[in-house]
Amino acid sequence: MADTFDDYLATILAAVQDEAGGEVHEVPRALAEADPGLLAAALCTTDGELHSVGDDEHEATIQSVSKAFVYALALEQHGIGEVLRAVDVEPSGEAYNVISVEAESKRPRNPMINAGALLVHALVGERGAEQDERVEIIRSRLSAMAGRELSIDEEAAKDELSQAHRNLAIAHMLRAEGVMPDDDPVDVVRGYTRQCSILVTPRDLAVMAATLANGGYRPGEDEEVVSAPVARHTLSVMATCGMYTAAGDWMSEIGIPAKSGVSGAIMGALPGRVGIATYAPRLDRHGTSVRGRAIFERLSDELDLHLLDDPHRQDTLWDRLRQQEA
Ligand code: GLN
């Protein structure tokens, strides 16, 4: 058995390396052209130890993984109660891009599907803020979570926008139902698509996840990016809604609050312990990375990282690897 985190992660990567299932996402072109063989795993403990293997410095657009972080920003800005009045937190059991709202309240069902994420995007910044201002707040706050200045792949955003008919339909529907703030729905989709085009590496995502796992403080830093109640609320919604149509299966089998994106990234966070990121572009029918899921399954099982594992269990592989590093 491996005796350092790096060796351990390397054995996991080798074990899933040849899993060939799934398809890369076609939009934007940058994703269609991604090398399907890319593979990485990164893990950042809440005391700031970062371990990663494989293509861990590969930058890809953040896509839907951004929804969790931007939700946290909106909660921080407006308070949890006010955001709940705008977007519900019920698992929808539907695909991420479904054009639907709750029948009675007309609220999007949760902030992890596109309807909710578009509305959440529009809540960031001053009311009526310009698209550039909003996107800049998001870019700079996500950079604070990652601990480095993140940039935006504007080409990818443009390319995705030229085909964003569903997201435009959703934004127009929200406006027509009277639940989207006064902004121009087209502008909201533009801003949201740029949010999805922020470039991150698996190492960035592990640190950002660890920030949520660490009560809103980037490990090792004393400046709070979001408050502890906001971090907890965000993790709850990741746990129930982060994996769309596979949310129940993910929670029972893996048990780590997580968010997937069509780039092939998965970001997961276990409170008080660790942030995890995987990257492998081929996706299953739920939009979850096939090999990313396989890595999470092993980590959860072998390191006893399921949220509902007995916390008193002793001398686990996790404990032993932690002691080696100390
Ligand atoms: N930008 C993509 C969209 O809004 C993100 C989807 C995803 O990662 N699930 O359709």
Q: What is the pLDDT of residues 184-207, one digit of tens each?
A: 999 999 999 999 999 999 999 999
The residue whose CA has the least distance to atom 2 of ligand 1 is: 63
Cα of 42 to ligand 1 centre, how many Å?
A: 22
Q: Is the confidence at residue 216, as pLDDT, over 80?
A: yes
Say whether both 310 and 257 belong to one domain. Answer: yes
Does 161 sit in the ligand 1 pocket, CB within 6 Å? no
Establish if 90 belongs to a structural domain.
yes
Q: Could you write out the three-class secondary structure of the chain?
A: CCCCHHHHHHHHHHHHCCCCCCECCCCCHHHHCCCCCCCEEEEEECCCCEEEEECCCCCEECCCHHHHHHHHHHHHHHCHHHHHHHCCCCCCCCCCCCCCCCCCCCCCCCCCCHHHHHHHHHHCCCCCCCHHHHHHHHHHHHHHHHCCCCCECHHHHHHHHCCCHHHHHHHHHHHHCCCCCCCCHHHHHHHHHHHHCEEECHHHHHHHHHHHHCCCECCCCCCECCCHHHHHHHHHHHHHHCCHHHHHHHHHHCCCCEEECCCCEEEEEECCCEEEEEECCCECCCCCEHHHHHHHHHHHHHCCCCCCCCCCCCCCHHHHHHHHHC
Pocket test for ligand 1, best of 63, 99, 194, 245 (most atoms within 8 A of CB): 63
CATH code at position 114? 3.40.710.10
The residue whose CA has the least distance to atom 10 of ligand 1 is: 97
Establish if 224 belongs to a structural domain.
no
Establish if 232 belongs to a structural domain.
no
Does 196 sit in the ligand 1 pocket, CB within 6 Å? yes
What range does the domain containing 90 cover? 64-195
pTM of the model: 0.97
Say whether both 49 and 89 belong to one domain. Answer: no
Establish if 80 belongs to a structural domain.
yes
Does 61 sit in the ligand 1 pocket, CB within 6 Å? no
The residue whose CA has the least distance to atom 6 of ligand 1 is: 64
Cα of 262 to ligand 1 centre, how many Å?
A: 6
Q: Is the confidence at residue 326, as pLDDT, over 80?
A: no
- Please report the pLDDT score of residue 28 as a whole number: 87
Say whether both 119 and 184 belong to one domain. Answer: yes
Cα of 277 to ligand 1 centre, how many Å?
A: 18
Q: What is the mean pLDDT of the chain?
A: 95
Rounded percentage of the chain residues whose pLDDT exceeds 70: 100
Q: What is the pLDDT of residues 18-77, one digit of tens each?
A: 998 999 998 889 899 999 999 999 999 999 999 999 999 999 999 999 999 999 999 999
Q: What is the pLDDT of residues 142-155, one digit of tens each?
A: 999 999 999 999 99
Task: Tally the domains of the chain.
Answer: 2
